[in-house]
Structures are given as C-alpha cells and as structure tokens.
C-alpha cells in the first residue's frame, strides 16, 4: 500500500512539471519572435532608404538653383558693365580707323528731328554746319573731357551726359568735340534714350565725316533707329556703314546685326 502511494505521487509530480516546461518553451519562442521583429525593424528598409535619397536630391537641387540664380545675377552685372565698352576704350580714343580711307560720301536715311523738351532731357545746342578749324586742346579742356569720360565708364550715365553737354557748349570746335559727341550719344544710348542718342550720332556723322569716331557713330545711329522701331531706316543706316567703312569694327558689327545668322 505504501509503495502504491509513492508511485502515485511520482506520477503527479511529473504531471505538474510537464506544463511548466511547455510554458517555458512557449515563452522562449515568443521572445525569439520579438527579437526577430526588432531586427527587421532596425534593418534598412528599401522604401525608407529611397525616401532618404529623394530628400537628399531635393536639398541638392535647391542648392544648385541658388547657385544658378547667383550666376545669373553676376552675368547681368557683367553685361551692364560691358555696355559702356562698345567699340572703343581709352587706348583706342586716338586710333584713326579711317585714316587710309577716302572721304566718304555719306548717304544717311532721313530721320525725324528730335524734340528735346518732349524727350524729357536737354540736349546741347549742336549744329550740322562744318566745324571751324580745331584749335589745340588746353589743359582745362583735356581735364573736363577726362572727367566726363570717367563718369561714363563708372556707369554714371546721367552725370556723364550733363558733363559732355557742358563740354560741347564750352569747346564746340575743340579737338575732343567729335569724341565728346560720340560719348554723349553713348550716354543716352546705354540708358535706352534712343531719340537723343540718334541726334548726337547724326550730328557727329554729318559734321565730322572723316573722323575716326564716325564709323562707330553711324553704327550707333543705326542701332538707335532700330531701338526707336524705325527698322527700315535703321537697317539702311547699318548697310551704309558696311558699304562706306569696309574692314572696320563698325562694319563688322553692322553686318552681324543685318545678318545675325552669319559669323
């Protein structure tokens, strides 16, 4: 009887121990699954990696766009600075482009006179009559001319036009008068005041047909006429530059404007 009781107790003990082992195994399985899920969550996801790359590309595009805008701004500044240097610089002021050319017979297309009051600015009184024989430049004349030219080079166009106008009023027959007329027209041209620019270039061409500034002056006259939408007259003037001043920078520029597709 005692032996039977001991056997029964042993069976019961084994029965009680079996569920605990199964529970432990189940818990271990759950823990393994959680660990696996955590590893998957921490592992790089293709979708998340793609989104990260897209964000990086967007940031790079934004940076490039800012750089492009800055370059465009710099190009605009460079273009504005270059507008004051069309055909001549200081080292070319005394260059005689037409020294070996025979005196041309100027054939300018007709142009309407410019009313200075209606154009919103004053123009120095100029005449198309042949100028008197030039007299040597004085020190004051040279200084006044240089001051006006420096104002133009600095981009102070309004001040330059005023100074060149005063210069021509004081020294209408001086050796710098043709240059002053050219740069006075240039000071109007670069600001888009084409009627006043055309008037100065026309006076230069008609008064000084053999001066070295005349080819450039006629070119700018044609460009000013184009700026005023007088296309047929402007093209005729540019063609006159090509015909009358072959081989000059002005003729090459005029030809390019007439035939932009040609080199």
pLDDT digit string, tens, across residues 171-205:
999 999 999 999 999 999 999 999 999 999 999 99
Least confident of 32-41, 199-208, 221-230: 32-41
Q: Distance between CA atoms of 50 and 53, rounded to whole angstroms? A: 5
pLDDT the model gives residue 55: 77
Q: Which of 129, 141, 152, 133 is nearest to 203 (CA)?
A: 129
> Above pLDDT 70, what percent of the chain?
60
pTM score: 0.53
72 in Cβ contact with 188 (< 8 Å): no
95 in Cβ contact with 212 (< 8 Å): yes
Does the pLDDT at position 119 exceed 50? no
pLDDT the model gives residue 111: 44
Segment 57-61 mean pLDDT: 78
């Amino acid at each position: 009887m005692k032996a039977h009781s001991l056997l029964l107790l042993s069976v019961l003990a084994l029965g009680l121990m079996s569920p605990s082992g199964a529970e432990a195994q189940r818990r271990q399985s759950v823990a393994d699954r959680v660990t696996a899920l955590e590893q998957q969550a921490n592992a790089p996801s293709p979708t998340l990696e793609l989104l990260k790359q897209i964000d990086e590309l967007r940031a790079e595009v934004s940076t490039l766009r800012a750089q492009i805008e800055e370059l465009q701004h710099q190009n605009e500044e460079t273009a504005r600075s270059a507008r004051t240097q069309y055909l001549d610089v200081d080292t070319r002021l005394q260059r005689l482009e037409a020294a070996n050319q025979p005196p041309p017979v100027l054939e300018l297309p007709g142009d309407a006179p410019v009313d200075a009051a209606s154009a919103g600015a004053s123009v120095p009184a100029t005449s198309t009559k042949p100028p008197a024989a030039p007299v040597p430049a004085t020190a004051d004349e040279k200084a006044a001319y240089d001051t006006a030219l420096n104002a133009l080079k600095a981009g102070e166009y309004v001040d330059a036009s005023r100074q060149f106008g005063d210069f021509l009023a004081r020294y209408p027959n001086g050796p710098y008068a043709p240059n002053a007329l050219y740069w006075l027209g240039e000071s109007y041209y670069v600001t888009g005041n084409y009627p006043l620019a055309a008037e100065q270039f026309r006076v230069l061409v008609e008064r000084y047909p053999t001066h070295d500034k005349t080819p450039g002056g006629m070119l700018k006259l044609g460009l000013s006429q184009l700026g005023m939408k007088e296309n047929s007259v402007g093209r005729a003037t540019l063609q006159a530059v090509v015909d009358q001043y072959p081989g000059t920078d002005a003729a090459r520029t005029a030809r390019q404007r007439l035939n932009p597709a040609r080199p």
